[in-house]
Structure 1
């Protein structure tokens, strides 16, 4: 979900306003995913590299996270959306960890999944999975995959990156081996149902070969 800062800069607004607008885009996209019948939607919300940002921006993001959980948890429960966190969210402030653990428990019976990457980096995920696989006695693709944060999620079909950047930025490197990719020249706060619907339509046109002809 890239482009919050640039969205704010183009409007001469503080970066915090860009992140707030990005939160609104999250709500629109989650609703659109439900309307389109998607089984699982994964959002990259806070990377392990984001800790390098200015302390004030990190504080704004943490406060936004707190408000987002408080404002949307009841709706997620009602709409039977299961929250899944990928990444080491235990590194956040204790009150955020408590809110996330409460949300995970209270949405566990959901029939559709909203996976949110928090304090996540794909290289770190793969290293962690390899270490756990080695401790279990086998290092091969199957055993590593069993120890990924996404082990209980369906395979990644389509990876969308907004803002015009054409790179993966340490996101789901293992899982995207045969995923289709779509890079959109739209800033995340401007993303909405029409973009997700168009992305799904584009995905439906593609022929997936998995290395075959």
Structure 2
């Protein structure tokens, strides 16, 4: 897959340009599926928040960018409808827009639904993650971000990339998300880790990592 791992969606022109580059064509010619599943796993998640994401009325731009079409892929529904129906939907999409919420809950349902197993075959599909939707692609999220308890009981996620992500760095509504706190969090992560603010994203193509930022970020190496 081609990855655009954001803290807060398509927040500025640089991240927007990175998305278009990954798509290889204009947004207006691209078909999107949005995945709201992570919204329901977080203790602060609500049905209203999920609706805002899907309807493009969130403060974090994803679904409202002018796509040719936008559909909803709810992962908790997939096991009950059969792969022969939903796999073609995913293969026909140019981009998966993945909402924030709880990364471990999202990871669980990616595995349960079969989407996680499908990812390696989606070589041209773009994964555009928002917060937890980005963190799920990392090896570990760190104990600080564990809310919903997975069956495994640990903080491991999909490991599609080899680094972890501390999102929403220095966010005004999250006073605990300081650089000092990010450094403490990174000390407990066994792999490289990025702290990124809401004006920053990480672009990954064939293992090549590029930070796209109009804000600030830091790479921590164990």
TM-score range, shorter chain: 0.3 to 0.5
Higher helix content, 1 or 2: 1
**TM-score, scaled relative to structure 2:** 0.37
